[in-house]
């Protein structure tokens, strides 16, 4: 059977009901038009638009468009945007035009009118034409033939490409590469694209293409942006509750139908609200919402629209969004603010983004700015916030919870179209000062909606995020409005498993004599002011002196460097080293420089990123780099080996003797432990007492996927003894604790079982490097089900092997593994 039989035709059936084996299946709302029906429109192959469909839609949708000639004026405006020479600009401006309409002079001498290409009003969406077709050809530099295209009013918004592993040995990743070839060979086809789909028999992924001439390395590195759609709420979907005989039994049908984004109304929702063009460091990338972001935003918007203007309590206007670290929480807030602002029923609302740290305020505001979203401002302080609230400022406002102080002269605001999105809400309720700020916010904004965002909810008597950000429904406390857990994120490929390795370096005296416990150490670490930390350090923190004692620093650096050179470095990955304070970082740097130079390695492999104190001595002043240099160091650290080569070759030519050494190890104490996204980082060397959310956020720095380099896992090496009592270090529910961290020793113990599971597919076959053995193995996998089982088991073993390698525990299994690899 061909790819069409395995994937293309079943997908068409599920989209439109055409050819479905289930008579009552009406599809997802698309009308199927085959090649013959599409040919009747006489579309030139060089034109991605089906103009007759578009002309008729413009006449149906726009009361001001009366003739086909007037409709063609709007089509011409669309074509002008489609043909922009820069491909990313063409896509961005085309989507803007489809979203907002074109301003066109329809009648000479009369004012210009706004002509809409798509009807977005749910009550009028039936005026649109929703077509699904296959084998859609477009002629560019070469002719491209798209497997499936979804067109709205003759405009191709979604392109799907399929591969069949059974028919060709290629999977969905090859479909992604083919879509990138189409983007180069027939760019007009991708100019109006909302998103693309890549699928095989078992995987159904969606994403966007890179709009520059991406190399194979660029595409491979970008594969993690192509996510599955596995709804967090399968019970919402009717077929899960249907009689068993009516449930889908095809492994592809579930993800296709779960991808309700392929419903026409949801494709339009994506076009309107869930695309961001993010520009950082002069580079613009198109981003599209993952399913947990899409569903969370719509949960927020739906609750707000249902309750706006209703006589409900303040507690009813709340919701907790629990999305694990690394799953795109900031982008979720951006999409939520954007969609809320565009809801006419909310009457030009104010969206308040509330953070609890100044650096987070800057970071989130910068994220909004990078996405070029309109009407976003930062409150410059208490008085500026009061002034904006008093004048009922409209737009999106980023502020800190600490700005809700000295508010006695601000009368309570009665507006209920004020929506607060509280970042890291588990922290904003913590401590007496934060309590008073949060209390003031609620008193002054009594009718505001409050949605809390976190990846680390803490359920304690005084700090209960469920109680603070969840209504009581039918007598039960709502725990989450939206939940996206660690295990689900790992399964989706949004994040990786994190494993921990205990290698405690004791302090130089009896630790009991210090008269200080783990909790007190952590409490000191949780102080945000560096000078306050330094004052405590000088007055009474003997344990810190011992932690950064030169003898102990030597031991830590010896262990760290040995592990780094054996594990992450050979694969090209990088690391962070976390010290107890800034002075410890300085000592780590000096010791590491000496060790590197002794091995003939450049000291530029490491650098220090710390905050600057006004009273720093020269030992710390040398790391007063300023923001620009720190940003440059961080960007340089994030480079993969391939990117590092390109970076140096562009600046210094081909002579490697002149190249700048790579930056492989960042030494920090507090900076970059939260909100730092560097997929190249695989290992965190932890020599600092952290607990609960601070610990969970820190270790999440290692969990970002990097498919281009086959990154399988994140690793935390514990030199301080944080994980000696995991329950004390991570005081969460047991299931969260088990999902957050996996014991390295326990992981290694699974290797023999994983190898045996793969070998079970070849029972009765004596392993040998012979042709007869190979043929026997191939015969064992002739059955498709047997082949799928082996592929699943081997993929699991391969991930495990890459994660554990080069640990000696693999040695006894090396021959079996090499044979399984073929």
Tens-digit pLDDT profile for residues 352-391: 999 876 655 567 777 777 787 877 888 888 899 999 998 8
What domain range includes position 362? 289-492
CB-based burial of residue 84 (10 Å sphere; 0-12 exposed, 13-18 middle, 19+ buried)? Answer: middle
Please indicate, yes or no, if residue 83 is contained in any of the structural domains: yes
Lowest mean pLDDT among 157-166, 445-454, 586-595: 157-166
- Residues 508 and 464 grouped into a single domain: no
Report H helices in 761-813: 771-780, 784-804
d(CA 365, CA 398) in angstroms, rounded, equals 6
Tokens 């916010």 sit on residue: 441
In the predicted model, is pLDDT for residue 213 greater than 90?
Answer: no
Q: Give the full edge-to-edge strand order of the sheet including 143-152.
A: 31-32, 130-139, 143-152, 155-162, 195-199, 204-207, 227-228
In the predicted model, is pLDDT for residue 566 greater than 80?
Answer: yes
Q: Name the phi and psi angles at 611, rounded to 5.
A: -80, 165
| Nearest by Cα to 190 from 221, 174, 218, 214 | 214
Mean pLDDT (whole number) for 474-486: 87
Rg (Cα) of the chain, in Å, rounded?
29
Domain at 449, CATH number = 3.40.50.300
Residue 361 Cα distances to 12, 110, 402, angstroms: 46, 47, 11
Q: Which residues contact 27 (CB under 8 A, 6 or more apart)?
A: 13, 14, 15, 16, 17, 18, 20
In the predicted model, is pLDDT for residue 734 greater than 70?
Answer: no
Residue bearing the bigger pLDDT, 699 or 258: 699
Residue 411 Cα distances to 407, 609, 617, angstroms: 8, 43, 47
- Residues 566 and 633 grouped into a single domain: yes
The token duo for 291 is 């399913």
Which pLDDT belongs to residue 249? 47
In the predicted model, is pLDDT for residue 528 greater than 70?
Answer: no
Which pLDDT belongs to residue 697? 82
- Provide the 8-state DSSP code for 40: T
119: helix, coil or strand?
A: coil
- Residues 126 and 183 grouped into a single domain: yes
d(CA 131, CA 117) in angstroms, rounded, equals 15
d(CA 313, CA 188) in angstroms, rounded, equals 52
The residue count of the chain comes to 822
Bridge partner list, 103? 114
- Residues 344 and 438 grouped into a single domain: yes
Which pLDDT belongs to residue 247? 39
Please indicate, yes or no, if residue 283 is contained in any of the structural domains: no
In the predicted model, is pLDDT for residue 709 greater than 70?
Answer: yes
For the chain, the domain total comes to 4
Model confidence at 694, pLDDT cuts 50, 70, 90, reads confident
CA dihedral of residues 180, 185, 191, 197 (deg, nearest 10) = -30
- Provide the 8-state DSSP code for 399: E
Percent of the chain with pLDDT over 70: 85
| Nearest by Cα to 318 from 439, 422, 236 | 422
Percent of the chain with pLDDT over 90: 50
Model confidence at 576, pLDDT cuts 50, 70, 90, reads very high
d(CA 808, CA 757) in angstroms, rounded, equals 20
- Residues 24 and 165 grouped into a single domain: yes
Model confidence at 277, pLDDT cuts 50, 70, 90, reads very high
Output the DSSP codes for 474-519: TTEE---SEEE-HHHHHHHTSS--EEEEE-----SS-GGGG---HH
In the predicted model, is pLDDT for residue 88 greater than 90?
Answer: yes
**Among 234, 250, 277, residue at a domain's last position:** 277
Please indicate, yes or no, if residue 284 is contained in any of the structural domains: no
- Residues 722 and 597 grouped into a single domain: yes
Residue bearing the bigger pLDDT, 587 or 729: 587
Model confidence at 201, pLDDT cuts 50, 70, 90, reads confident
Please indicate, yes or no, if residue 598 is contained in any of the structural domains: yes
Mean pLDDT (whole number) for 757-775: 86
Round the average pLDDT of the chain to a whole number and report it.
85
> How close are the terminal C-alpha atoms of the chain, in Å?
26
Q: Which residues contact 596 (CB under 8 A, 6 or more apart)?
A: 561, 602, 603, 605, 606
Which pLDDT belongs to residue 251? 45
pLDDT, tens digit, for every residue of 396-417? 999 988 888 888 888 999 999 9
In the predicted model, is pLDDT for residue 706 greater than 50?
Answer: yes
Which pLDDT belongs to residue 731? 66
Please indicate, yes or no, if residue 532 is contained in any of the structural domains: yes
Instruction: Judge contact between 475 and 448, C-beta under 8 A.
Output: no
- Residues 485 and 559 grouped into a single domain: no
d(CA 449, CA 308) in angstroms, rounded, equals 9
Residue 153 Cα distances to 40, 111, 132, 234, 666, angstroms: 16, 26, 11, 31, 52
- Residues 359 and 418 grouped into a single domain: yes
Which pLDDT belongs to residue 248? 44
Please indicate, yes or no, if residue 223 is contained in any of the structural domains: yes
- Residues 69 and 166 grouped into a single domain: yes
* Number of neighbouring beta carbons within 10 Å of residue 411: 9
**Among 476, 492, 508, residue at a domain's last position:** 492
- Residues 385 and 412 grouped into a single domain: yes
Mean pLDDT (whole number) for 724-732: 68
Model confidence at 241, pLDDT cuts 50, 70, 90, reads very low
d(CA 592, CA 579) in angstroms, rounded, equals 13
Which pLDDT belongs to residue 238? 36
Mean pLDDT (whole number) for 26-32: 83
Which pLDDT belongs to residue 107? 93
Which pLDDT belongs to residue 783? 82
In the predicted model, is pLDDT for residue 250 greater than 70?
Answer: no
- Residues 624 and 696 grouped into a single domain: yes
d(CA 222, CA 476) in angstroms, rounded, equals 43
Lowest mean pLDDT among 216-220, 471-475, 518-522: 518-522
In the predicted model, is pLDDT for residue 23 greater than 60?
Answer: no
Please indicate, yes or no, if residue 282 is contained in any of the structural domains: no
- Residues 111 and 182 grouped into a single domain: yes
Which pLDDT belongs to residue 244? 40
**Among 238, 253, 277, residue at a domain's last position:** 277
């Amino acid at each position: 059977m061909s790819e069409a039989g395995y994937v293309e035709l079943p997908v068409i059936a599920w989209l439109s009901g055409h050819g479905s084996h289930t008579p009552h299946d009406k599809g997802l709302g698309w009308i199927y038009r085959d090649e013959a029906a599409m040919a009747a429109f006489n579309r030139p192959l060089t034109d991605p638009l089906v103009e007759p469909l578009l002309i008729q839609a413009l006449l149906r949708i726009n009361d001001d468009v009366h003739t086909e000639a007037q409709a063609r004026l709007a089509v011409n405006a669309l074509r002008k945007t489609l043909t922009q020479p820069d491909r990313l600009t063409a896509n961005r401006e085309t989507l803007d035009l489809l979203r907002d309409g074109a301003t066109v002079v329809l009648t000479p001498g009369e004012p210009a009118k706004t002509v809409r290409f798509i009807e977005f009003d749910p009550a009028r969406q039936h005026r649109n034409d929703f077509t699904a077709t296959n084998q859609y050809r477009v002629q560019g530099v070469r002719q491209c033939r798209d497997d499936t295209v979804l067109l709205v009013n003759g405009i191709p918004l979604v392109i799907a490409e399929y591969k069949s592993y059974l028919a060709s040995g290629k999977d969905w990743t090859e479909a992604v590469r083919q879509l990138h070839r189409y983007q180069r060979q027939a760019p007009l086809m991708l100019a109006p694209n909302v998103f693309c789909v890549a699928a095989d028999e078992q995987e159904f992924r969606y994403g966007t293409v890179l709009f520059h001439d991406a190399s194979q390395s660029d595409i491979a590195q970008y594969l993690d942006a192509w996510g599955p759609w596995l709804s967090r709420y399968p019970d919402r979907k009717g077929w899960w509750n249907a009689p068993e005989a009516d449930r889908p039994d095809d492994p592809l049908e579930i993800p296709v139908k779960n991808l309700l984004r392929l419903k026409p109304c949801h494709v339009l929702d994506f076009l309107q609200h869930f695309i961001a063009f993010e520009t950082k460091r002069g580079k613009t990338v198109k981003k599209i919402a993952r399913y947990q972001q899409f569903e969370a935003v719509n949960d927020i918007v739906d609750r707000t629209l249902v309750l706006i203007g209703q006589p409900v309590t303040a507690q009813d206007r709340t919701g907790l969004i629990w999305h694990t670290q690394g799953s795109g929480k900031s982008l979720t807030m951006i999409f939520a603010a954007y969609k809320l602002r565009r809801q006419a029923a909310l009457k030009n609302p104010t969206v308040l983004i509330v953070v609890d740290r100044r650096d987070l305020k800057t970071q989130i505001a910068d994220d909004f700015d990078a996405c070029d979203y309109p009407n976003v401002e930062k409150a410059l302080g208490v008085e500026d916030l009061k002034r904006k609230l008093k004048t009922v400022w409209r737009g999106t406002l980023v502020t800190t919870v600490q700005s809700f102080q000295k508010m006695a002269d601000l009368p309570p605001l009665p507006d209920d179209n004020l929506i607060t999105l509280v970042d890291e809400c588990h922290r904003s309720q913590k401590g007496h000062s934060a309590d008073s700020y949060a209390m003031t916010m609620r008193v002054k904004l009594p009718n505001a909606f409050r949605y809390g965002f976190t990846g680390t909810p803490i359920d304690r008597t005084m700090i209960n995020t469920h109680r603070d950000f969840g209504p009581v429904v039918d007598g039960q406390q709502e725990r989450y409005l939206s939940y996206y857990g660690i295990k689900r994120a790992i399964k989706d490929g949004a994040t990786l498993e994190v494993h921990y390795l205990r290698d405690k370096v004791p302090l130089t005296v009896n630790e009991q004599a210090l008269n200080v416990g783990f909790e007190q150490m952590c409490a000191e670490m949780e102080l945000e002011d560096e000078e306050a930390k330094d004052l405590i350090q000088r007055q009474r923190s003997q344990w810190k002196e011992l932690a950064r004692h030169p003898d102990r620093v030597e031991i830590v650096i010896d262990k760290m460097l040995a592990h780094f050179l054996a594990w992450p470095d050979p694969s090209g990955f990088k690391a962070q080293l976390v010290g107890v304070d800034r002075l410890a970082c300085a000592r780590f740097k000096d010791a590491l420089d000496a060790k590197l130079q002794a091995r003939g390695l450049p000291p530029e492999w490491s650098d220090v990123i710390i905050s600057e104190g006004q009273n720093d001595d020269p030992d710390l002043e040398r790391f007063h780099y300023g923001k620009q240099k720190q940003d440059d160091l961080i960007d340089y650290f994030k480079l993969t080996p391939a990117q590092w080569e390109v970076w140096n070759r562009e600046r210094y030519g081909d002579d490697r003797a002149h190249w700048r050494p790579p930056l492989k190890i960042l030494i920090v104490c507090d900076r970059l432990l939260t909100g730092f996204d560097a997929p190249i980082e695989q290992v965190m060397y932890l020599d600092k007492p952290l607990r609960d959310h601070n610990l969970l956020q820190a270790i999440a720095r290692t969990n970002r996927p990097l498919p281009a380099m086959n990154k399988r896992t994140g690793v935390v090496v514990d030199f301080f003894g944080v994980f000696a009592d995991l329950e004390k270090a991570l005081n969460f529910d047991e299931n969260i604790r088990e999902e957050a961290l996996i014991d390295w020793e326990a992981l290694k113990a699974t290797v023999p079982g994983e190898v045996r599971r793969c070998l079970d597919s070849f029972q009765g076959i004596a392993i040998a490097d012979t042709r007869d053995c190979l043929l026997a193995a191939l015969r064992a996998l002739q059955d498709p089900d047997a082949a799928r089982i082996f592929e699943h088991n081997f993929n699991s073993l391969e991930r495990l092997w890459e994660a554990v390698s080069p640990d000696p525990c693999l040695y006894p299994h090396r021959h079996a593994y090499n044979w399984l690899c073929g």
